[in-house]
């Protein structure tokens, strides 16, 4: 029987009649042959171009044995840490080990090393010193310049320097890998491939360049936080494929040279990627381990586009997918939907249709195709740009076609909705159909914070915009006779948030009668604007100083304030309110967050009462404690 997965063993190669690979892909994730997983896309594209490609997924890095099992490839080795940065995959915001890994068989943790890209590359160099080595994926993409590493609390060199790779692909990688493969196959040496958009390379001098921007080097940014912020500002502002310039950074013996980003994919190119012959599940070798959990979230979901012009400060999308929307055709999406419907375990529900932001189906404005994204202006913050095309008609048309397909019972939207963009649309048709057809009882949205000081640093709309949307959502659901809920996400300890702002958010939650069961503590991930603020204490785009909560105890207090009703948080909340000078919120009044200490102790002694949350007359008990009810 033919194995339609890409080769992972010599036996698979023999079945195809291959004695040698052209490209070997080393992945930090288990092998899942689905278009939501980068290694699958890259390998399938190489396969379509006629190359022989195989995958070694999650090799044992403690020796080089696993790295040799498919033999030396003829052209190059490609390395990716996987769909997540390997350090973020392994550690929490509190720097504790995570107990599971959704990208590993059975969700088992510990199957990849710290800084997987570097470790894998070093093993490859042990085995084949002269092989062209290309790194990519989210870890390489976001660590391409000298960067702050939260887990060591230090500035690290470019991952290209530390990995000893020849080329670094940043961004999604499809255009880059096709061009690199062609040049390598034509006999061009890896060190001579220097003009591919969306790549970085090492150079011992800059004599070959004539139009570039040099940012402060590794020595400067690792010792001076203002230099770090200045370097980040330039790197951030040049992340545009149309107007961006070459950016270089000295790393001592070598310069890191970044070419401008790859040009956005056309609709035809996007369609080609998603029409490749994926098996749409994990490799059968993982069946005995319980499969790979990550597939469950995406198996019956559809990607309609890439990119995001929301440009939230804490998000890596700007540096990875870019601000220019790249969309698939409706025909391509409908073809994929037909494939989903034919799956034996399809139950009639399409779980999601979207991208980084579900309702960004079209480019932000007509100017981006010629000029690129604006260098110093955001599309939605602080207010929607006058040139913004706020139009949901194309997305609505797609959703209508999908929900009318035979065999489809419901089409949900679970990727993020930007409600500020929704409100900018003069028509309320999308909100009407969203509530009527595409909400599964709860709609997740991400205001993230409500303090104007914090939302300004996040690049998010303010509290008043969220309340406008909440009221509109309530009105529509009342009109159509549905009982549906908003589930807003909030973040603690983002740069700019001190105890005062955390208390402000707690009061908002109290007034909304919303009691979150989960709160995201800000994690400074490499490459984001918020991480630059966290490390430097400076908003790099404006130069203003920013307060940053770095003390772990203060971070615990901020987090506890968002869950002030949880009795185990009482002492942290009490301490936070006292330190913030808000003892007025300790007492028996309707606006108080907690009772005085003696009263709280009496309540805590009663285990039954400590498990229950006070509820309003028209509010259910625990079932509704984690959502805003309308």
Give, in order, the Cα–Cα distances in Å from 44 to each of 49, 54, 177, 274: 9, 10, 11, 10
Please give the distance of CA 175 from its chain centroid, rounded to a whole number: 21
Could you tell me which residues come within 8 angstroms of residue 320 by beta carbon, excluding any fewer than 6 positions away? 138, 141, 142, 170, 171, 172, 527
pLDDT at 39: 96
What integer is the mean pLDDT of 175-194? 97
Of the options 3.40.50.300, 3.90.180.10, 3.30.70.3280, 3.30.750.210, the CATH number for the domain spanning 300-440: 3.30.750.210
**End-to-end CA separation in angstroms for the chain:** 55
The answer to whether 558 and 547 have CB atoms below 8 angstroms apart is no
* Sequence ranges of the domains in the chain: 10-258, 300-440, 442-457+473-630
pLDDT digits (tens, 9 = 90+) for 253-303: 999 999 999 999 999 999 999 999 999 999 999 999 999 999 999 999 999
Element (H, E) at 117: helix 116-127
What integer is the mean pLDDT of 609-614? 44
Question: In this structure, how many other beta carbons lie within 10 angstroms of the beta carbon of residue 392?
Answer: 21
- Report d(CA 255, CA 215) in Å as an integer: 11
pLDDT at 598: 75
The answer to whether 25 and 8 have CB atoms below 8 angstroms apart is no
Give, in order, the Cα–Cα distances in Å from 66 to each of 103, 140, 166: 19, 22, 22
pTM given for the model: 0.92
pLDDT band at 419 (very low <50, low <70, confident <90, very high): very high
What integer is the mean pLDDT of 46-54? 97
pLDDT digits (tens, 9 = 90+) for 326-380: 999 999 999 999 999 999 999 999 999 999 999 999 999 989 988 999 988 899 9
Closest-CA residue to 355 (of 310, 295, 409): 310
pLDDT over 60 at 231, yes or no: yes
- Report d(CA 174, CA 321) in Å as an integer: 12
Looking at per-residue confidence, does 494 or 615 come out higher?
494
What integer is the mean pLDDT of 129-135? 96
Task: Of 37-51, 298-312, 576-590, 596-610, give the lowest mean pLDDT range.
Answer: 596-610
- Report d(CA 410, CA 99) in Å as an integer: 34
Closest-CA residue to 338 (of 265, 395, 272, 275): 275
pLDDT over 90 at 163, yes or no: yes
Alpha helices in 463-528 (DSSP H): 463-480, 499-512
β-pair type (76-80, 133-136): parallel
Domains 300-440 and 442-457+473-630 in one fold: yes
Q: Among all chains, which residue has been given the structure tokens 């997305």?
A: 395
**Number of helical H runs and strand E runs in the chain:** 25, 23
Q: Return phi, psi of residue 554, to 5°.
A: -65, -40
Q: 175: phi > 0 → left, psi -120 to 50 → alpha, else beta; which?
A: alpha
pLDDT over 70 at 605, yes or no: no
Mean pLDDT for the chain? 93
Q: What percent of the chain has pLDDT over 70?
A: 94
Give me the CATH code for the 442-457+473-630 domain, please. 3.30.750.200
The most confident of the ranges 292-306, 376-390, 611-625 is 292-306
The structure tokens listed for 419 are 């409600």
Please give the distance of CA 479 from its chain centroid, rounded to a whole number: 35
Task: Of 133-137, 411-415, 454-458, give the lowest mean pLDDT range.
Answer: 411-415
pLDDT over 90 at 91, yes or no: yes
pLDDT at 599: 62
β-pair type (147-149, 154-156): antiparallel
pLDDT at 376: 81
- Look up residue 175 and give its DSSP letter: H
Q: Among all chains, which residue has been given the structure tokens 């769909």?
A: 83
pLDDT over 50 at 629, yes or no: no
What integer is the mean pLDDT of 168-193? 97
């Amino acid at each position: 029987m033919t194995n339609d997965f890409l080769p992972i063993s010599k036996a698979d190669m023999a079945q195809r009649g291959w004695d040698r690979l052209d490209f070997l892909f080393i992945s930090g994730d288990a092998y899942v042959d689905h278009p939501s997983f980068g290694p699958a896309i890259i390998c399938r594209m190489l396969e379509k171009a006629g190359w022989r490609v195989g995958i070694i997924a999650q090799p044992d890095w403690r020796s080089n044995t696993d790295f040799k099992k498919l033999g030396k490839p003829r052209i190059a080795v490609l390395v990716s840490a996987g769909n997540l940065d390997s350090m973020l995959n392994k550690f929490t915001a509190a720097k504790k080990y995570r107990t599971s890994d959704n990208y590993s068989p059975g969700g088992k943790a510990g199957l990849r090393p710290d800084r997987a890209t570097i470790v894998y590359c070093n093993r490859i160099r042990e085995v084949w010193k002269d092989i062209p080595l290309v790194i990519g994926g989210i870890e390489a993409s976001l660590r391409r310049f000298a960067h702050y590493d939260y887990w060591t609390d230090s500035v690290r060199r470019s991952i290209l320097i530390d990995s000893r790779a020849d080329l670094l692909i940043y961004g999604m990688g499809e255009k880059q890998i096709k061009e690199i493969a062609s040049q390598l196959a034509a006999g061009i040496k890896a060190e001579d491939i220097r003009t591919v958009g969306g790549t970085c390379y090492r150079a011992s001098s800059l004599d070959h360049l004539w139009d570039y921007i040099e940012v402060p080097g590794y020595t400067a940014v690792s010792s001076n936080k203002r230099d770090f912020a200045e370097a980040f500002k330039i790197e951030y502002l040049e992340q545009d494929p149309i107007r961006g310039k070459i950016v270089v950074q000295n790393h001592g013996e070598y310069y890191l040279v970044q070419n401008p980003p790859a040009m956005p994919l056309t609709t035809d190119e996007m369609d080609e990627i998603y029409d490749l012959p994926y098996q749409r599940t994990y490799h059968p070798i993982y069946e005995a381990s319980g499969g790979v959990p990550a597939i469950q979230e995406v198996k019956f979901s559809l990607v309609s586009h890439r990119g995001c012009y929301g440009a939230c400060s804490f998000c890596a999308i700007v540096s990875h997918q870019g601000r220019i929307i790249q969309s698939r055709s409706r025909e391509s999406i409908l073809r994929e939907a037909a494939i989903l419907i034919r799956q034996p375990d399809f139950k009639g529900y399409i779980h999601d249709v979207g991208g980084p932001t579900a309702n960004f189906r079209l480019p932000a404005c007509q100017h981006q195709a010629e000029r690129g994204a604006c260098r110093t202006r955001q599309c939605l913050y602080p207010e929607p740009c006058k040139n913004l095309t706020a139009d949901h008609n194309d997305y609505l048309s797609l959703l209508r076609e999908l929900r009318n397909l035979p065999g489809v019972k419901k089409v949900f939207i679970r990727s993020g909705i930007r409600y500020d963009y929704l409100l900018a649309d003069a028509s309320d048709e999308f909100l009407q159909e969203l509530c009527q057809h595409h909400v599964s009882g709860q709609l997740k949205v991400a205001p993230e914070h409500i303090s104007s000081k914090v939302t300004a640093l996040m690049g998010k709309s303010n509290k008043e915009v969220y309340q406008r949307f909440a009221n509109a959502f309530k009105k529509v659901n009342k009109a159509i006779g549905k009982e549906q809920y908003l589930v807003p996400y909030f973040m603690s300890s983002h740069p700019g948030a001190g105890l005062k702002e955390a208390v402000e958010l707690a009061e908002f939650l109290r007034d909304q009668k919303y009691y979150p069961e989960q709160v995201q503590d800000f994690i400074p991930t490499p490459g984001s604007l918020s991480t630059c603020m966290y490390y430097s204490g400076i908003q790099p785009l404006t130069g203003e100083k920013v307060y940053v909560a770095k003390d772990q105890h203060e971070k615990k207090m901020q987090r506890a304030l968002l869950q002030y009703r949880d009795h185990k948080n009482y002492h942290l909340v009490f301490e936070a309110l006292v330190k913030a000078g808000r003892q007025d919120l300790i007492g028996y009044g309707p606006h108080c967050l907690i009772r005085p200490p003696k009263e709280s102790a009496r309540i805590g002694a009663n285990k039954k009462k400590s498990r229950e949350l006070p509820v309003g007359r028209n509010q259910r008990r625990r079932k509704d404690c984690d959502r805003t009810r309308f």
